[in-house]
Amino acid sequence: MTDINYISGHPSRDEDFDLYALGALDAGERRAFESHLAECADCKEKLAQAQGRVALLAAAAPQVDPSPAVKQRLMRQIHADAVVSPATPSRSSPEVEYPRRGWFARWWAAVLLPAAAGLAFATAYLWVQNRRLDVDLARLRVTMEQQQDQLQQQLQQQEQLREQFQDAREIAALMAARDTMIVPLTSQRGMPQGSARVVYNGQMGMLYYDGVLDAPPAHKSYQLWLVPKDGDPISAGVFNPVSGQDTHWMMKLPKGLDPKAFAVTLEPSGGMPHPTGPKVLVGAGS
């Protein structure tokens, strides 16, 4: 057995405080220890630290029940150690020996304390690693979201290009058709100035507007109308151009319309179901 001594009146090793906090000291050891604690503030502080360490290890270590065989061997050893007469510490000597500890105390100091400390270290290490993984996952999530936004923008750009390509094909087909009519629109006296043309094919049901016109007054919009030979005018688009800039668009209309004229009127902002304002541009149909 290994003896633990007092050095200069104080317990010589930190493990003595851990063993006391664990309740692993024999009765004689405990009494000697408590007698010294009653007079030593420094050792009380060390004991408080040891109790904190033990509490931390107890929280970190998993609860495992020993087998019945281990319990029986432990109890036999404790009972055998109990019959050994402990030495009584002498306070007249500067170095007072502790009573010899039992088998359980030596077993805890040599095996369980290092194992529990290793388990606590492993638990702290895994916690740090998990925190790092959380940070990495958060960064990866941000990167994925940014890539998804970029992909969405690319898809939108591709869709816009596809629509522009489709419009270009339709305009080319409209221009190439033999029965397509091109109608110039001229400004009316006292109205905003500009010029435009309408390219229209009744069999295809397609109309293309292209022109330059002064910006409309505040709270007003321009509206293009197809005026058929029979029936009410049909809206072919509402627009608010910038002065000096070209405006154009493609419009699909019911097929088979026979236009008498095309006209651009000045309407309340957003347009109207039927013409209500003055004519700004006018062009005769077929």
Percent pLDDT > 70 in the chain is 72
β-pair partners for 247: 211
pLDDT at 46: 85
Would you list the domain boundaries of the chain?
6-116, 181-284
CA–CA distance, 132 with 125 (Å, rounded to integer): 11
Contact between 222 and 238 under an 8 Å Cβ cutoff? The reply is yes
**Residue 32, CA distances (Å) to 19, 83, 123 in order:** 14, 19, 36
What single-letter amino acid sits at 246?
Answer: D
pLDDT at 98: 47
**Residue 130, CA distances (Å) to 60, 125, 136 in order:** 16, 9, 10
Model pTM score: 0.49
pLDDT at 83: 58
pLDDT at 80: 66
CA–CA distance, 209 with 200 (Å, rounded to integer): 9
Longest dimension (CA), the chain: 132
Look up the CATH architecture of domain 181-284: Sandwich (2.60)
Q: How many residues does the chain have?
A: 286
pLDDT at 47: 83
Contact between 249 and 238 under an 8 Å Cβ cutoff? The reply is no
Contact between 205 and 190 under an 8 Å Cβ cutoff? The reply is no
Q: Average pLDDT of each block of 10 consecutive residues along the chain (286 residues)? A: 55 75 77 85 85 67 57 64 51 48 57 66 75 86 91 91 87 91 94 94 95 94 96 95 92 93 96 96 88
Distance of CA 68 to the CA centre of its chain: 51
